[in-house]
Amino acid sequence: MYTPYYELQEPECRLYQADTVSADFIPEGSVDLIVTSPPYNVQVEYGAHEDDMSYDAYLEFCERWMRNCFRWLKRDGRFCLNVPLDKNRGGQQSVGADLTTLAKRIGFRYHATIIWNEGNISRRTAWGSWLSASAPYVIAPVELIIVLYKEQWKKCSGSGQSDITSEEFIEWTNGLWTFNGESKKKIGHPAPFPIELPKRCIKLFSFVGDIVLDPFAGSGTTLIAGMMYNRRVIGIEIDPNYCELAKQRIETYLNQRQYALDMPTEGDETLTAFCEEVLSVYEKYGINSHIKWERDKSS
C-alpha cells in the first residue's frame, strides 16, 4: 500500500507525494468529484515538473493523467478542470477546446464551461504587431472551468445532503464567475488558484461527506476548501516542497479552526481580538483570502 505523505482521520485527508500520471493507489470508481488545475505548459518553474514541453507532448501528458482520473471517478462522478482558454507562449494554441476534445475521447461527457474572469490578472504578454493589422495578438484575460462527468450527470450516490445557499446557487449557476486570482508570493507556489474556485465547485457539484480529489494538489487549496465544507479529501503532488507547503497550510487552517471552537463567547473585545488574529494568520498563509472583515468603527 502506498503511504501518504500526510494523513488525517478527522477531518479525513490524505496527501500523497506521487506522480499523477503513474499513480495506482486510488481505488477505481471511488471518487465523487475531481477539482484541479494542471500545469499549463507555459514555462512555469515548478521544480519537479517540466513545464516547457512541445504542445503534442503536453497533450499526451494530459491524456495520461486524465485517463487515471476517469478510472478513479464513480459512475456519477464529476470533473472540474481549470485551464486557460488559450495561450500564445510557444505559439497560439486553443488549450481549452483541445483538452475538452481530449477528455471526450477518453470517455468523459461534457456538461458545461464556466468562464472565470480574474479581475486582478492580466494575460497580456505580447501584442504582436502594435497598432497594426499585420499580425496583432488577441488574448482573453479569462480562464475556463470545464465541467465534465463520467457516465451520468444526475448524482445518486453519497449523502444527498447539500450545503449550498439559495444565493450561492443562483449566482454560481450563472456560467460567468468573477473573482480575483491568487498571489504567488503570498502562497509560496508559482501558480496557485484562490480558494474561492474549489469552494464553489465543491459546494455546487458535491454532497457533504463526498470524496474530493485534486491530482495536482500544489499548495493544498482544494484540500483546505474540502475540509472547510466537510468533504473527505485526497491530494496528489509530485514535488516534496509543495507537499510540505500544503501540509503547513492545512495544519494552520485546522489550528485556527480549533482555536475558534475553544474560544469563549463572552465579551466583544475578546471576539474582535480573535478575529483580527485569525485574519492575520489567514493573510500570511493565503487561507480564506476571499473573506473580508472590518471592525465596526462605531463600537
pLDDT tens figures, 12-63: 999 999 999 999 999 999 999 999 999 876 545 546 556 577 889 999 999 9
Confirm if 67 and 104 have CB atoms less than 8 A apart.
no
Query: What confidence score (pLDDT) does residue 180 get?
Result: 80
Alpha-carbon distance values, 253 to 12, 119, 259, 286 (Å): 14, 26, 10, 10
- Indicate if the pLDDT at residue 186 is higher than 70: no
Confirm if 21 and 65 have CB atoms less than 8 A apart.
yes
Confirm if 127 and 136 have CB atoms less than 8 A apart.
yes
Predicted model pTM? 0.82
What are the helix (H) ranges across the chain? 55-72, 95-106, 166-172, 184-187, 196-205, 221-228, 240-262, 268-285
Confirm if 242 and 17 have CB atoms less than 8 A apart.
no
CATH code for 6-242? 3.40.50.150
Residues facing 79 on adjacent strands:
34, 148
- Summarize pLDDT for 211-235 with one digit per residue, the tens: 999 999 998 999 999 999 999 999 9
Radius of gyration of the chain (CA): 20
Query: What confidence score (pLDDT) does residue 271 get?
Result: 54
The two beta strands, 142-149 and 211-214, are unpaired
Q: What is the largest CA-CA distance in the chain?
A: 69
Give the C-alpha separation, 156 to 260, whole Å. 35
Query: What confidence score (pLDDT) does residue 141 get?
Result: 80
Could you say which DSSP state residue 263 is in?
S
What's the rounded mean pLDDT across residues 261-284?
A: 57
Q: Which residues of 42-72 are buried (b: 16+ CB within 10 A; e: fewer)?
A: beeebeebebebeeeebbebbeebbebbbbb
The two beta strands, 109-117 and 142-149, are antiparallel
Which sequence spans correspond to the domains of the chain? 6-242
- Summarize pLDDT for 76-120 with one digit per residue, the tens: 999 999 998 887 666 788 999 999 999 999 999 999 999 999 865
- Indicate if the pLDDT at residue 244 is higher than 70: yes
| Cis peptide preceding 11, ω within 30 of 0 | yes
pLDDT category at 182 given cuts 50, 70, 90 is: low
Give the C-alpha separation, 215 to 170, whole Å. 29
Query: What confidence score (pLDDT) does residue 292 get?
Result: 47
CA 159 to chain CA mean position, Å: 23
